[in-house]
């Protein structure tokens, strides 16, 4: 025993000096781990720091970047040696020699701590330059099988070629639209699905880079590509007219394989007329309709060099999509979960209903053995008729009625007659909880159908848990709905529309960022918004758009996604680039609103959508977003060093605020407009209530909640304002009451109805997988666990930890893996004793508001406040109900007396 203790002590003493230093970890390039194919010529290199000591901070860094020895045509060399740079930044733009396309870069960083001691060099990370948008593509052509957009079967393409000996490395760059699936020598390449990401293809298409070194060999090789229609060639007729999209074209692909031999010679295989094409088993695919597969038409071995392709036709060279071809610098869509059915019922003879117990986006995997020609039909949905059959009426309603009816959320599989056949759709996804199966030979079991969850594969970066199981369920459902609505664009729902509704996206963005690493995802979609902005500044309600949504479905409460999301990226990541690179577009948008405003009031657009009882005048919410947008432009101008613009837009914001106050404020009742929850919380949340009226307006809001019996009475806009603004104004108790209601209307009522996702409306009659009410989960993290960004020191350089002990909660905890590392806040009540554990990442600081009735009672790691300075904690001030402390990085444990008049329990 003693020996173990002595050894542990020795290990601790030996580890201590090194551990006290700063160790850079989690190196990223453009927020991605060792990415291939980066277009940015000055990519952002970032790292996090680990340290065993409290208060650790970086005072300087040094970066070194070398080209990889693999790139023999550009011999290994130092690309950047930054030298020691005095700075606390942990994200810096590359400033070395110009980066040539295809260059493989390896980099390391080290950091100096507060005592001026350098830490160890980090592990080597890498990135590789791509084809620099359109600039560096070689001889490849866009090829297709036809230019006829009505043509249905998915085309297969192949090309064989012979390679020499000593292959050093090989990269394949591909842009295949609508969707592609890449094969090489009989194998599928990579695990991306529904790739590339959806964009406005005539303005921007995304290419993907693969390392195919291991798949190639000296001698004969084959590459194969299958193309789906995706969003490029939508045949389905619906009210958004994607069948008339200006970019609509038959599927096409451009690809370049670049093979580098060890002697430095490069050989390229590119798409051109030498590629051959044919049709195969995918006889129909449609993003809304589904996929039909006839296994009898399979072409075994089609992607291998030995396959006899005599009957195949030469591919044709087709027109270019017309815009940028940019690197897909974001996580792809992947299949992330396989879900077995929880039950199979047979509501009618031969009609089998599979319930997966969970609403999701994705498709089913079918396993069957049947005679050749047997066709199994799978229909996807999320509601049932009273007789137990599938009801898709509420998700089909925006499809245009045709004769014969269009296929919708339906896959079919026709057997080839093997003993066991397994199949899943490639080029579609559906929104569903249930699958209705017909045509199955015999009685299916749980082995015959599984659900596959597909979505943009963002890494989970946060979690929340508390003593109220209802809130934990809401948290869980929010995550499912968020991911179900992440399909390379943020969507409203995974079935009915699959549209990038801008309002839904910004309402869910903070919650998304606190749960998942969606930074690059949002950067990409902000480019999509820019691609859709008209010269006048207008934006459509859905992005991408076929042209629909400029006349209806937009307005400031939706369009502000173009300003708010860059703002959130700044707030959460400290990265100014999205704000500044879209500055002109954002400014143009605000100017457009100014042109539409009358005396400072904007009355265009959608308002507080899907409200419960009280409808809020559109001009209230629209004008408030106009104000917010003007402030964001002013801030961006400031960051860009445009002081005149900063003054101009700040002045505009003041004018809007004055107009808002003059038009909507009723001094006699201390209310705004109709005095509803949305109007009041909008004014408070957007910062439009003059300081001297705040307390009264807050009381009016609390009274409005009371008269709704503690329930929410807002639509999607108000749902974001109300919880946050009640907390910001010290009434988390009221917000908690709203959030934890189990009766209608509220999130809890959905849960009581058995919801596994968030729904579209409080009434529950619409879609069952919408994310636009999802900000409640961000509120859990900010208000209950207490983790909050500081706009003055964005990117969590400084953090506010402000937990609230409310209602019947006895504990709440959350963590968030920020760009600076893990932030944690965990509190629990034990009788009258509150314990609050806080973790602050190295190189960050935090202001902690420790809830307590007796500020003097607060201890940290068992130490009384008189001992604190030596301990890295500073008592800042006592406030009603709290002791506010300033801390540096590290782990802390505060204990306090929570209830008034209580005494610390004796140990
Ligand atoms: C969508 C919403 C969207 C709304 C706006 C609906 O059809 O599903 O999420 O924000 O329309 O009009």
**What was the pLDDT predicted at 320?**
96
Reduced 3-state DSSP string for 115-170: CCCECCCCCCEEEEECCCCCCCCCCCCCEECCCCCCCCCCEEEEEEEEECCCEEEE
Does any ligand 1 atom lie closer than 6 A to the CB of residue 815? no
With beta carbons less than 8 A apart as the criterion, state whether 121 and 107 touch: no
**What was the pLDDT predicted at 900?**
62
**What was the pLDDT predicted at 13?**
36
* Atom number, ligand 1, closest to the C-alpha of residue 552: 12
Does any ligand 1 atom lie closer than 6 A to the CB of residue 501? yes
What pLDDT digit, counting tens, does each position of 583-601 carry?
999 999 999 999 999 999 9
With beta carbons less than 8 A apart as the criterion, state whether 204 and 548 touch: no
* Atom number, ligand 1, closest to the C-alpha of residue 398: 7
- State the pTM of this model: 0.96
Measured by CA distance, the residue closest to atom 5 of ligand 1 is 553
Q: How far is CA 654 from CA 564, 650, 689, 834, in A?
A: 19, 6, 12, 43
**What was the pLDDT predicted at 82?**
98
The residues annotated with a catalytic role in the active site are 497, 760
- Which of the 8 DSSP states describes residue 19? H
Give the residue, out of 238, 489, 499, with the most ligand 1 atoms within 8 A of its beta carbon, to mutate for a pocket test.
499
Residue 110 to residue 105: CA distance in whole angstroms: 17
Ligand 1 centroid to residue 485 C-alpha, Å: 13
Ligand 1 centroid to residue 426 C-alpha, Å: 27
Give the residue, out of 482, 553, 618, 767, with the most ligand 1 atoms within 8 A of its beta carbon, to mutate for a pocket test.
553
Q: How far is CA 866 from CA 113, 502, 860, 862, 885, in A?
A: 27, 52, 11, 12, 13
With beta carbons less than 8 A apart as the criterion, state whether 677 and 713 touch: yes
Residue 842 to residue 840: CA distance in whole angstroms: 7
Does any ligand 1 atom lie closer than 6 A to the CB of residue 503? yes
- pLDDT means per 10 residues, the chain with 907 residues, are 43 43 97 97 97 94 87 70 98 95 93 96 96 86 97 96 96 97 98 98 98 98 98 96 97 97 92 98 98 98 98 97 96 98 98 98 98 98 97 94 95 95 98 98 97 98 98 98 98 98 98 98 98 98 98 97 98 96 98 98 97 98 98 97 98 98 98 98 98 98 98 98 98 98 98 98 96 98 98 98 96 98 98 96 97 95 87 86 96 91 40
Query: What stretches of 371-418 show up as alpha helix (H) in DSSP?
Result: 393-396
Which helix (H) or strand (E) segment holds residue 887: the answer is strand 882-887
Does any ligand 1 atom lie closer than 6 A to the CB of residue 606? yes
Does any ligand 1 atom lie closer than 6 A to the CB of residue 608? no
Does any ligand 1 atom lie closer than 6 A to the CB of residue 492? yes
701 closest CA partner among 717, 688, 683: 683
Domains of the chain: residue spans and CATH:
2-128 (2.60.40.10), 134-330 (2.60.120.260), 335-456 (2.60.120.260), 462-785 (1.50.10.10), 798-897 (2.60.420.10)
Measured by CA distance, the residue closest to atom 8 of ligand 1 is 492
Which residue matches tokens 């199949």? 423
**What was the pLDDT predicted at 71?**
45
**What was the pLDDT predicted at 19?**
58
Does any ligand 1 atom lie closer than 6 A to the CB of residue 848? no
Measured by CA distance, the residue closest to atom 3 of ligand 1 is 501
With beta carbons less than 8 A apart as the criterion, state whether 426 and 228 touch: yes
What pLDDT digit, counting tens, does each position of 75-116 carry?
678 999 999 999 999 999 999 999 988 889 999 999 999 999
Does any ligand 1 atom lie closer than 6 A to the CB of residue 605? no
Give the residue, out of 397, 491, 492, with the most ligand 1 atoms within 8 A of its beta carbon, to mutate for a pocket test.
492
Ligand 1 centroid to residue 530 C-alpha, Å: 21
């Amino acid at each position: 025993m003693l020996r173990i203790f002595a050894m542990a002590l020795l290990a601790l003493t030996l580890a201590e000096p090194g551990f006290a230093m700063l160790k850079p970890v989690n190196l990223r390039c453009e927020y991605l781990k060792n990415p291939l194919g980066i277009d940015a010529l000055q990519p952002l290199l970032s790292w996090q720091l680990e340290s065993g000591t409290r208060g650790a901070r970086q005072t300087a860094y040094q970066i070194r970047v070398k080209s990889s020895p693999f790139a023999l045509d550009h011999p290994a060399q130092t690309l950047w040696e930054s030298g020691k740079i005095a700075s606390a930044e942990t994200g810096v733009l590359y400033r070395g020699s110009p980066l040539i396309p295809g260059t493989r870069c390896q980099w390391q960083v080290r950091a100096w701590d507060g005592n001026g001691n350098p830490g160890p060099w980090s592990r080597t990370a890498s990135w590789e330059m791509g084809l620099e948008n359109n600039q560096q593509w070689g001889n490849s052509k866009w090829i297709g099988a036809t230019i006829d957009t009505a043509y249905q079967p998915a085309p297969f393409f192949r090309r064989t070629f012979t390679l020499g000996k000593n292959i050093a490395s090989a990269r394949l760059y591909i842009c295949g639209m609508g969707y592609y699936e890449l094969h090489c020598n009989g194998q599928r390449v990579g695990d991306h699905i529904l790739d590339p990401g959806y964009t406005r293809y005539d303005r921007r298409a995304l290419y993907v880079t693969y390392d195919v070194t291991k798949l190639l060999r000296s001698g004969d090789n084959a590459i194969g590509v299958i193309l789906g229609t995706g969003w490029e060639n939508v045949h389905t007729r619906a009210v958004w007219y994607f069948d008339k999209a200006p970019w609509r074209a038959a599927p096409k692909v451009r690809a370049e394989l670049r093979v580098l031999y060890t002697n430095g010679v490069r050989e390229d295989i590119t798409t051109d007329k030498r590629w051959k094409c044919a049709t195969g088993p995918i006889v129909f695919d449609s993003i809304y309709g589904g996929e039909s597969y006839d296994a009898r038409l399979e072409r075994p071995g089609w992607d291998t060099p030995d396959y006899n392709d005599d009957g195949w036709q030469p591919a044709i060279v087709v027109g270019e999509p017309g815009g940028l071809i940019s690197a897909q610098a974001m996580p792809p869509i992947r299949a992330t979960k396989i879900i077995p059915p929880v039950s199979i019922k047979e509501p009618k003879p031969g009609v089998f209903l599979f319930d997966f117990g969970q609403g999701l986006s994705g498709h089913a995997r079918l396993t069957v053995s049947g005679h050749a020609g047997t066709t199994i039909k799978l229909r996807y949905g999320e509601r049932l008729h009273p007789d137990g059959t599938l009801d898709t009426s509420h998700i089909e309603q925006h499809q245009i009625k045709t004769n014969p009816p269009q296929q919708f959320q339906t896959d079919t599989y026709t057997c080839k007659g093997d003993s066991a056949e397994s199949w899943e759709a490639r080029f579609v996804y559906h929104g569903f909880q249930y699958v209705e199966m017909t045509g199955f030979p015999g009685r299916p079991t749980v082995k015959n159908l599984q659900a596959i969850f597909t979505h943009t594969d963002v890494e989970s970066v946060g979690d929340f848990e508390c003593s109220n199981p209802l809130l934990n369920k809401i948290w869980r459902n929010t995550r499912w709905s968020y991911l179900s609505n992440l399909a390379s664009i943020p969507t409203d729902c995974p079935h009915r529309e699959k549209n990038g509704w801008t309002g839904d996206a910004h309402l869910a963005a903070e919650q998304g960022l606190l749960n998942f690493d969606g930074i690059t995802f949002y950067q990409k979609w902000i480019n999509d918004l820019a691609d859709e902005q008209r010269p006048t500044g207008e934006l459509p309600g859905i992005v991408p758009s076929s042209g629909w949504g400029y006349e209806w479905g937009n307005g400031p409460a939706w369009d502000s996604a173009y300003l708010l999301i860059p703002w959130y990226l700044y707030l959460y990541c400290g990265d100014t680039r999205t704000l500044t690179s879209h500055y002109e577009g954002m400014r143009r948008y605000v100017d457009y609103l100014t042109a539409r405003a009358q005396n400072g009031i904007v009355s265009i657009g959608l308002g507080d959508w899907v409200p419960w009882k009280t409808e809020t005048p559109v001009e209230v919410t629209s004008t408030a977003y106009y104000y917010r947008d003007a402030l964001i432009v002013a801030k961006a101008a400031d960051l860009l060093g445009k002081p005149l613009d900063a003054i101009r837009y700040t002045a505009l914001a003041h004018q809007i605020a004055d107009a808002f106050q003059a038009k909507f404020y009723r001094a006699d009742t201390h209310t705004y407009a109709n005095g509803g929850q949305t109007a009041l919380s909008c004014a408070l949340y957007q910062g439009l209530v003059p300081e001297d009226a705040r307390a009264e307006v807050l009381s009016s809001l609390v009274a409005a909640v009371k008269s709704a019996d503690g329930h929410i009475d807002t639509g999607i806009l108000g749902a974001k304002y109300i919880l946050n603004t009640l907390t910001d104004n010290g009434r988390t108790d009221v917000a908690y009451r709203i959030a934890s209601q189990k009766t209608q209307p509220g999130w809890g009522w959905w849960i009581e109805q058995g919801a596994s996702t968030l729904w579209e409306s409080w009434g529950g009659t619409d879609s069952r997988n919408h994310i636009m009410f999802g900000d409640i989960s961000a509120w859990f993290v900010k208000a209950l666990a207490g983790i909050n960004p500081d706009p003055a020191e964005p990117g969590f350089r400084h953090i506010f930890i402000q937990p609230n002990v409310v209602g019947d909660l006895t504990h709440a905890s959350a963590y968030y893996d920020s760009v600076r590392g893990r932030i944690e806040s965990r509190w629990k009540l034990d009788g009258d004793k509150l314990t609050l554990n806080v973790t602050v990442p190295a190189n960050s600081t935090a202001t902690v508001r420790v809830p307590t009735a007796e500020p003097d009672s607060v201890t940290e790691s068992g130490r009384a406040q008189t001992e604190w300075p030596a301990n890295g904690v500073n008592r800042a001030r006592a406030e009603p109900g709290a002791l506010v402390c300033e801390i540096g990085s590290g782990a802390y444990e505060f204990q306090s007396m929570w209830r008034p008049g209580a005494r610390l329990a004796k140990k």
